[in-house]
Amino acid sequence: MAALLALLVLWPLIGLIWEGLRGLIRGSAGLGVDGLQQIKGTLVLLLGTALLGGMLGTANGWLLANCRFPGRRILRIAQVLPLATPAYLLSAILLDMGSLQGITIHGMGWGIVIMALTTYPYVFLLSTESFSVCGESQLEACRSLGVGPWESFRRVALPMALPAIGAGVALMGMEVVNELGAVELLNIQTLSYGIVEIWQAESNPAGAIGLALVALIIVMALVAYEKSLRSRSRRWTEGAAGGQAPAWPLMGLRALLAQILALIAPIFTLGIPLFWALINLEQLTPAKLQLQNPYWATDLLELTGRTFALALAAAGLTVLASLLLAIAKRWQPTKWMRSLSFLSGIGYAIPGAVLAIALMPFSVGLWNFAPILLLLWGYSDRFLAVSKGGLDAAFERLSPNLDEAAMGLGCRWPAVLRRVHLPLIRGPLLVGALFVFVDTVKELPLTFVLRPFDFDTLAVRLFQYAGDERYSESLMPALMIILLGLIASLALVPGLDQGARQQSRLSERASRS
């Protein structure tokens, strides 16, 4: 069953690679007229985002993990808020506000800033965890030798955290390659934009497949890099001394600068959208909405209903698939099963436009799948890793003795799953479902390409409104997406608090011993 499920996950990508190789042999697969420019644009956007987002995430990770200053706990929670605002939504808002003030917002510079500020929490979450477990003895040795916070960061903490930082940067890069809405609104030539343009506007599937293969190569390189860095990060952590790292107190100007640095991204990614909504409140009056669209209430209800139904179905299917794979990996911990489980989770690294191209052949010919089924297949494939990662970690924390004890009492494996495992993994299961739900709500490239005719979601309609410069009409879909994104972001807060409490308990145990 698990092998069949993994085959369904990998089948579209295998088909895409096969079609690409056939096109290369026949000479029909190419990069198109703007292919080289789109590859260059993708790489420049990726490198610029990685540099800016990596620096910001690392700096905030160190300050909020190892320094103490007023407002630190609230600012630590605020670092996950940028995940609530998709890059294409922030781009549309800035375009609207810029047009009112006579400011031109487009091009690579704005793209780098927007992508860095909306994706840097990946670096922050991984780096702050690494800094938190850096070990008391190393930093205390720095303090005893008169080394200050900056030198201890540069000479001790940063080298130990580099693998985790690199892994976060790789995750940022995957999001950059996947982005469609922001790059199109800002007029940036990238692979994701080129794939959709060649496929839909120019009706050139061979050219789209050629660009998709280039994007796939870039993303697979990022996946291999991220996996390598994660394994190195585990070895660093295992070798570091335990205990909670000491807190460096910051006062006066230093504390103020730390607060400003920690506030930049939350204010930019959440404060600006909320301010934009506030200054456009008059657009939410029934008279204004009726003037813009006589059927606005029905239209919004239909958009929300479609989005909710798709996200709910995708969350259910994805969590079920990830549960089956996690169980198979636990009860058959062979090398083959571990490899199969890893490969089935790489869909999150594949850009939505590439995955859409891989699924398109299943909509015609012998298969002729309904577009809704293709959408759900694509969502489950792309977001499987979001749910499976938490479940794998939860199962790894459960001792195999639990399974042996239940089996010894005469329980078969369905009963062990129902009576032992499910109650213990209920938290990761629900959080995984929530993340898949909200990621589906925000997903644009996959939905934009595979959706049935006249079947828009909140993300697609917002993108269309922004492309037509109908910013006032995009207000309600934008508020709905921000609200759901906030729910997902705040779901990470208990994890941050739990990590802090765990470090505090370790420190107390170490001091008692």
Q: Nearest-CA neighbor of 69 among 242, 266, 260?
A: 260
Task: For 426-465, write each residue's pLDDT tens digit.
Answer: 767 776 787 788 788 888 888 888 888 778 888 888 888 8
Q: Name the least confident of 29-43, 99-113, 149-163.
A: 149-163
Give residue 511's pLDDT.
Answer: 41
CA 46, distance to chain mean position in Å, is 15
Separation CA 234–CA 132 (nearest Å): 14
Separation CA 282–CA 300 (nearest Å): 18
Q: Which residue has the higher pLDDT, 86 or 394?
A: 86
Give residue 44's pLDDT.
Answer: 94
Element of type H or E holding 479 = helix 475-490
Helix axes 35-66, 121-132, angle to 10 degrees: 40
What count of Cα atoms within 13 Å lies in the side-chain half-sphere of residue 194?
A: 28
Separation CA 39–CA 498 (nearest Å): 42
Which residue bears the tokens 């610029």?
48
Task: For 351-373, write each residue's pLDDT tens digit.
Answer: 787 788 778 777 766 666 788 88
**What class has domain 2-25+33-512?**
mainly alpha
Which residue bears the tokens 């335990």?
242
Whether 162 shows a pLDDT value over 60: the answer reads: yes
Give the CA-trace dihedral at 440, 432, 479, 275, to 10 degrees.
-130
* Residue ranges per structural domain of the chain: 2-25+33-512
Give residue 50's pLDDT.
Answer: 92
Whole-Å CA distances, 350 to 12, 48, 225, 325, 358: 11, 20, 15, 19, 11
What is the pLDDT confidence band of residue 488, given thresholds at 50, 70 and 90? low
Enter the tokens of residue 477. Answer: 């879909």
Q: Report whether 63 contacts 129 (CB < 8 A).
A: no
What's the DSSP call for residue 155?
I
In the chain, % of residues over pLDDT 70? 72
Whether 49 shows a pLDDT value over 50: the answer reads: yes
Backbone angles phi, psi at 249, to 5 degrees: -75, 135
What is the pLDDT confidence band of residue 277, given thresholds at 50, 70 and 90? confident
Enter the tokens of residue 489. Answer: 């972001």
CB crowding 376-408: b at 16 or more within 10 Å, else e? bbbbbbbbbbbbbbbbbebbeeeeeeebeebee
Q: Which residue has the higher pLDDT, 430 or 89?
A: 89
Give residue 336's pLDDT.
Answer: 74
Average of per-residue pLDDT values in the chain: 76
Task: For 60-72, write each residue's pLDDT tens digit.
Answer: 988 888 888 898 8
What is the pLDDT confidence band of residue 261, given thresholds at 50, 70 and 90? very high
Whether 248 shows a pLDDT value over 70: the answer reads: yes
Whole-Å CA distances, 29 to 111, 215, 252: 29, 14, 61
Element of type H or E holding 249 = strand 248-249
Enter the tokens of residue 393. Answer: 């970690």
In the chain, % of residues over pLDDT 90? 10
Task: For 31-46, write each residue's pLDDT tens digit.
Answer: 666 778 888 999 999 9
Whether 230 shows a pLDDT value over 60: the answer reads: no
Separation CA 124–CA 403 (nearest Å): 36
What is the pLDDT confidence band of residue 115, given thresholds at 50, 70 and 90? very high
Separation CA 60–CA 75 (nearest Å): 9
